[in-house]
Chains A and B, each alone.
Chain A
């Protein structure tokens, strides 16, 4: 009697296991066709609360609605973002682990001192999202009326003019270095970010401040600072009256923070396609654009291919400016 019961139980268990297996396999098949069917992790390689983090959380919220799956933001902080990107690179390229991506990634691996073992090929570029253009501003009583006057003075007095950058090897610093290569030597003062740059500019501790156009627009509007130039190929809508650097001086000096989204290398093309469409829809939503605009950030959509090409170009530009 006992034997029969055991046998039945064993058979039953085997059956359950078989059913479990088949179910699993079936689900996996379905997964490929109906990506996504489980929660997605979005790595933000910076601390919670910064402007990158808030921007990513705004996107995550909308991505959830677009994809019908929860999108969990995970702040993986360390080594100026590198720890987070390493975690991404080690994740399965199934589209369930994505990451916020910034140009700091490129600077980080170009720097020979850092001895990084990854480059642009270790991620799959999905889309570009934020376009945060740099503007140079001075105090209203500054002798420099425009970028040309500034450059003329810099040429005559190399290493005299101080410019507040928001930290070493930021886009602000790299622009100063690029100008250096052209024979215009300025003195970068590395602050620890927006607030300090602003204080130093308003207090007259530096001659020029390099900041995001969206961050400086209020001070410009209220007359506390005067914008000299926008460092982009076209004017910023945050400072429509301010000419570009090239308009004024003939020198193409560009600086911007471009933030996008990436996945691990060799991602499934179907998932890439699905994400591209979802991101595109979000970025075309006027409400989202308005939300980002309120934070002083422009939205500029680039699809996977365009984003990849843009990053390659950026890599070449940074190499040149930094001399690495």
Chain B
């Protein structure tokens, strides 16, 4: 109850005109940054950081954190409209968001994503207020062995999602793993598979692979259909709100997504892609008709989007309570705290309650602003799908090239994106699923480093993985998931016959 009183005080701080304006600027800028592929929230926060020097600390952090969660909203838009995830967190949104857009339901997809993001964000904040400090300590039990086990669970879920052809899915996933190996070995510093190219020493960028495989290949396919005059007419725009019968499952998906996102957000250092895969898989499993997934099931957008935003909100808990930034963008927020003379950590809540509660209250307001902004905007964005392809595609291509260039200011990433686009085109032609490539790429890196770190700590023994309760449980869960998926694949030759990610 004490917290509630503080929170009301916080609203007083956050509700001043100046702070409201800064919050608005922050979330709007964040959304723009999220929409532009390549320019992520990390760079966005970094660019605005020097501008905040003259501001009081609470106002500065209100604006900067606005960029952070605003970008989470923006990332959805490109995933749905042009099948291009700007960051790994919105990867799963492409699976059903883009098919929805092709059916003229981009508005519904964006609408439910905004609603889900709002609910997920708010619930995560409530958790932050109520139990944050208590749980954050527990989350520290997650060491490298636990991360490894968690990633193994994530990957085992991937098998369940492969659908039509397990073999093709596994080949695609292996290809993703192979891509993840390129670059510096995290243990010995040896450069692998760079073939003497300096640009490859850091490995491929997620964004250039994602834009190429997902977005660019889609452009090629659409262009080809247009040439063959088989293209469908641009779809008629439908209502931006979900259909009546979709509300029930959507709300449930949102609540489940919030739970998943919050729990994983508490663990510092997990990748935001894991909660989204988890949410997507669960939605598919509990759905009455799993075959709709991959063809525009609204729960497939609602769940992962919510999980992503709940994750983003909950990821602030380790920052506020322990002073640990759990992602690069949060690390910049940490920098902002310190620069303004605040010490994130166990005593921040006691020493600077007006600051902490002011920022938390501003996040309630910011999430509300984003919801209000995004619901009407969903329809505006959705109209983009009505633009004739011959005008839309070249423009999208330009934006993608700019996006790929802006990752590192390097033409190499542009070339990589184009190459992956061509590869993605052929993979689509021969019905190789693209999702496993990207997911294995993202998870493969974490899996490798956490495995190597664990083995260093355990002096090369695998047994301690099963002696630590959390990692043992997770590994058993992963084993169970794999066996069940394989059993179904064998027995029924594809319960999920038509769905692919």
A residues at B contact (CB < 8 Å): 47-49, 51, 53-54, 57-58, 61, 74-80, 82-83, 86, 111, 113-115, 159, 162, 167-169, 187-192, 194-196, 198-200, 202-206, 218-219, 221-222, 224, 291, 294-296
> Contact partner of A192 among B186, B324, B340, CB < 8 A?
B186
Q: Mark B260-282, 1 if CB is under 8 A from A, else 0.
A: 00000000110000000000000
- Name B50's closest neighbour in chain A (CB-CB): A57
> Contact partner of B198 among A78, A192, A198, A218, CB < 8 A?
A78
Cβ contacts under 8 Å, A205 to chain B: 143-144, 457
A58:B50 contact, CB within 8 angstroms: yes
> Contact partner of B186 among A168, A187, A199, CB < 8 A?
A168
Q: Does B56 sit within 8 A of A, measured CB to CB?
A: no
A202:B49 contact, CB within 8 angstroms: no
> Contact partner of A162 among B186, B346, B449, B456, CB < 8 A?
B456
B143:A203 contact, CB within 8 angstroms: yes
> Contact partner of B202 among A79, A114, A162, CB < 8 A?
A79
Q: Does B430 sit within 8 A of A, measured CB to CB?
A: no
Can you list 8 A-B pairs with a CB-CB distance of less than 8 A? A48-B43, A77-B410, A80-B202, A113-B190, A190-B456, A200-B144, A206-B457, A295-B338
Q: Mark B114-133, 1 if CB is under 8 A from A, else 0.
A: 00000000000000000000
B144:A222 contact, CB within 8 angstroms: no
A291:B339 contact, CB within 8 angstroms: yes
A195:B409 contact, CB within 8 angstroms: no
Docked pose: A168 CA to B361 CA in angstroms: 41
Best-buried of B42, B45, B409, B459 by chain A (most CB within 10 Å): B409
Shortest beta-carbon distance from A288 to chain B in Å: 12
Docked pose: A114 CA to B184 CA in angstroms: 11
Cβ contacts under 8 Å, B191 to chain A: 113-114
B202:A78 contact, CB within 8 angstroms: yes
- Name A74's closest neighbour in chain B (CB-CB): B409
B47:A48 contact, CB within 8 angstroms: yes
Interface bracket on B: 35 or more
A195:B268 contact, CB within 8 angstroms: yes
> Contact partner of A219 among B323, B335, B456, CB < 8 A?
B323
A189:B456 contact, CB within 8 angstroms: yes
Within 8 A of A (CB), among B33-54: 42-43, 45-47, 49-50
B339:A294 contact, CB within 8 angstroms: yes
Docked pose: A187 CA to B456 CA in angstroms: 7
Cβ contacts under 8 Å, A192 to chain B: 186, 449
- Name B196's closest neighbour in chain A (CB-CB): A115
Q: Given that A80-B201, A190-B187, A199-B269 are contacting pairs, would A54 and B335 also be in contact in the complex, using a CB cutoff of 8 Å?
A: yes
Q: Does B236 sit within 8 A of A, measured CB to CB?
A: no
The 5 closest A-B pairs by CB, nearest first: A49-B46, A205-B143, A203-B140, A79-B201, A168-B189
Shortest beta-carbon distance from A45 to chain B in Å: 10
Cβ contacts under 8 Å, B326 to chain A: 195
Cβ contacts under 8 Å, A162 to chain B: 456-457
Q: Does B322 sit within 8 A of A, measured CB to CB?
A: yes
Best-buried of A168, A196, A224 by chain B (most CB within 10 Å): A196
Q: Given that A80-B201, A162-B457 are contacting pairs, would A219 and B408 also be in contact in the complex, using a CB cutoff of 8 Å?
A: no
Docked pose: A308 CA to B457 CA in angstroms: 39
Shortest beta-carbon distance from B444 to chain A in Å: 15
B343:A218 contact, CB within 8 angstroms: yes
B199:A61 contact, CB within 8 angstroms: no
Docked pose: A291 CA to B338 CA in angstroms: 10
A295:B453 contact, CB within 8 angstroms: no
Docked pose: A111 CA to B322 CA in angstroms: 37
Within 8 A of A (CB), among B307-332: 318, 322-326, 328-329, 331-332
A83:B199 contact, CB within 8 angstroms: yes
Q: Given that A195-B324, A294-B339, A294-B341 are contacting pairs, would A79 and B199 also be in contact in the complex, using a CB cutoff of 8 Å?
A: yes
B43:A196 contact, CB within 8 angstroms: no
Q: Mark B164-178, 1 if CB is under 8 A from A, else 0.
A: 000000000000000
A169:B46 contact, CB within 8 angstroms: no
Docked pose: A57 CA to B47 CA in angstroms: 10
Docked pose: A198 CA to B344 CA in angstroms: 13
B189:A169 contact, CB within 8 angstroms: yes
Q: Does B230 sit within 8 A of A, measured CB to CB?
A: no
Shortest beta-carbon distance from B111 to chain A in Å: 32
B201:A82 contact, CB within 8 angstroms: yes
Question: A199-B140, A221-B343 provided; 9 other pairs, C-beta below 8 A?
Answer: A49-B42, A74-B409, A188-B456, A190-B453, A195-B326, A199-B268, A199-B318, A203-B141, A294-B341
A224:B345 contact, CB within 8 angstroms: yes
Q: Does B426 sit within 8 A of A, measured CB to CB?
A: no
Docked pose: A297 CA to B335 CA in angstroms: 12
> Contact partner of B457 among A79, A189, A291, CB < 8 A?
A189
B331:A195 contact, CB within 8 angstroms: yes
Shortest beta-carbon distance from A101 to chain B in Å: 17
A86:B198 contact, CB within 8 angstroms: yes
B338:A294 contact, CB within 8 angstroms: yes
> Contact partner of A202 among B140, B144, B190, B196, CB < 8 A?
B140
Q: Given that A47-B408, A82-B201, A202-B322 are contacting pairs, would A168 and B187 also be in contact in the complex, using a CB cutoff of 8 Å?
A: yes
